[in-house]
A = this chain, B = another copy of it.
Amino acid sequence: MTWKPNRTEKRTLFDQIRAWIVEQIEDGHWSNGMRLPSQRKLAEQFGVNRSTIIQVLDELKAEDVIESRQGSGVYVKPRGWDFVLRQQTLDWHQRIKQSAYKVNAQTIQLINEYEALPTTVRLGTGELSPELIPQTALLKSFSELTLTNQELGYSEPLGSLHLRNTLTSYLERRGIVTKPNNILIVSGAVQALQLLSLGLLETGTSITTEAASYIHSIPSIPSVSFQASNKKTMYYTIPTLSNPTGKILTLEERKRLVERCSVNHMPVVEDDVYSELTFDGAPPALKSFDRAGQVLYIGSVSKCISPGIRVGWLVGPESVVRYLADLKMQLDYGTSAISQQLVAQWLNSSYFYEHIYNLRASLKKRADFTEAILQKTVGDIAEWESSKGGFYIWLRIKQPVVTKSLFLALLKQNILINPGYIYKPNDYHYVRVSYAYCTLDELKRGLIMLANEVKKRFI
């Protein structure tokens, strides 16, 4: 803190100090929730009267940038985009407001932000823990990668043919018989969802899905639960290890779902990214029962190898797939050739299968450990289904106390939860607990703190 206002500058001391403080906050030097130095210290540092400091702080309080907390000083206020954007000379803020694009909800922005801090205990993160990522094998396989000069160029619209050929065999594991021309390589499953939303939804219509669904957490993809029959929608589901509920549809339920959608000429989007992670297997994919070309199937390696690879796939009728490929070419000209080659190499070798075998066992241990702790800490005030695989336990608290205030209270203690209302709007009973990311020690500590905060709010 060696900066001082410049008395020879045109701007007033007030303006300079205000701008400097805003800069500290904008640049992240003063983080959300940080306590500001005292008025006396600031006055000393800047070489100005305390009254100037008081004036600046009042202004910043009025602007919602900082806040007083009784008896304990002045703090940087947790903030959304609104504040940050107001500061621009050019009116970027106005432009952003006028665009059709919807930003992530503040809860999700905070999740993205706090996930980047090493001190955060990430109790809800839907991602493999660093210790579960097969780093050694991945680094080894990098050195074995071969790509021709052609493959290092722009890829063809559908993506690497080598990878698509590999996937036609790989997908037989899920009961899916398909051809390379029915497969579009994407940069992760979420890109596939965006392609469907941008390319196949009429403006003003939404994707239909379950009450609790991952897709509700992506604000730029319009989605609703259980809407009245509308021929212009499509049905999104994760039939195997649903995010967030962890459910696996039975064979009967799968057949019925495909049949019902077939009768209604309703496309089905099957998100199958967790299917490698079942503890006791799962029925074949919905896509395997698809005779009318109406199931669009999505897979990815993000949940089972490493999300940093950013490779997924979409399987559907050739014409639809080619149309979406055209859209993808406009969005990003294809997926990283290196990542595509790496995935083909893994799926064609023992790397993948050995890793998956070990990963399932590790996840099962983590799930058991977590359920034992849940039993001890919230056994009396919550309920859940025993995990069948994947990452999540969809914890239902018996009273609706999982509010934003609970989320923020835990955040102050460096505990980051994924509250259920992100996935199931307007329902405050749930927490999506992930046993995949934290260390066991963090899981224990985090769940105890979660239990404490929850119990405080019980009536």
**Measuring CB to CB, which residues of chain A are less than 8 angstroms from any residue of chain B?**
26-28, 81, 84-85, 87-93, 95-96, 98-101, 103-104, 109, 112, 115-116, 127-128, 130-131, 133, 135, 138-139, 142-143, 145-157, 179, 181, 187-188, 190-191, 194, 198-203, 218-221, 232, 265, 267, 292-294, 302, 306-311, 317-320, 322-323, 326-327, 329-339, 342
The one of B26, B329, B336 that contacts A338, using a Cβ cutoff of 8 Å: B336
Do B335 and A310 have beta carbons less than 8 Å apart? Answer: yes
Task: List B contacts of A109 (CB < 8 A).
Answer: 326
CB distance from A430 to the nearest CB of B (A): 22
- Given contacts A27-B179, A88-B317, A135-B152, 6 further A-B pairs with CB under 8 A are A84-B318, A92-B320, A112-B156, A133-B149, A147-B308, A310-B332
Task: List B contacts of A103 (CB < 8 A).
Answer: 323, 326-327
Do A333 and B151 have beta carbons less than 8 Å apart? Answer: no
Do A307 and B333 have beta carbons less than 8 Å apart? Answer: yes
Given contacts A232-B95, A319-B87, A326-B109, contact A130 B150 (CB under 8 A): yes
Residue of A98, A330, A334 most packed against chain B (CB within 10 A)? A330
Do A98 and B190 have beta carbons less than 8 Å apart? Answer: no
A337 nearest CB neighbor, chain B only: B308
Which are the 10 A-B pairs with shortest beta-carbon distances? Answer: A308-B337, A130-B149, A143-B143, A98-B202, A336-B336, A84-B319, A152-B308, A116-B156, A152-B306, A191-B332
Given contacts A149-B133, A190-B330, A336-B187, contact A292 B99 (CB under 8 A): no
Task: List B contacts of A145 (CB < 8 A).
Answer: 139, 142
Given contacts A339-B338, A339-B339, contact A218 B332 (CB under 8 A): no
Residue of A87, A112, A338 most packed against chain B (CB within 10 A)? A338
Q: A154–B330 Cα gap in the complex (Å)? A: 24
Please, could you name 29 A-B residue pairs with CB atoms under 8 Å apart, sorted by A? A28-B181, A81-B323, A85-B320, A89-B292, A89-B293, A92-B200, A95-B200, A95-B201, A98-B232, A99-B202, A99-B203, A112-B326, A115-B154, A115-B156, A133-B152, A135-B148, A135-B152, A142-B143, A142-B145, A142-B338, A194-B330, A194-B331, A220-B330, A307-B333, A310-B336, A331-B331, A336-B338, A338-B339, A338-B342
Given contacts A81-B319, A220-B327, A342-B338, contact A127 B153 (CB under 8 A): yes
Task: List B contacts of A147 (CB < 8 A).
Answer: 135, 138-139, 308
Do B218 and A330 have beta carbons less than 8 Å apart? Answer: yes
A261 nearest CB neighbor, chain B only: B90
Do A306 and B191 have beta carbons less than 8 Å apart? Answer: no
Q: A198–B187 Cα gap in the complex (Å)? A: 18
Task: List B contacts of A85 (CB < 8 A).
Answer: 319-320, 323
The one of B112, B329, B334 that contacts A310, using a Cβ cutoff of 8 Å: B334
Do A310 and B333 have beta carbons less than 8 Å apart? Answer: yes
Q: A88–B291 Cα gap in the complex (Å)? A: 12
Task: List B contacts of A307 (CB < 8 A).
Answer: 152-154, 333
CB distance from A270 to the nearest CB of B (A): 15
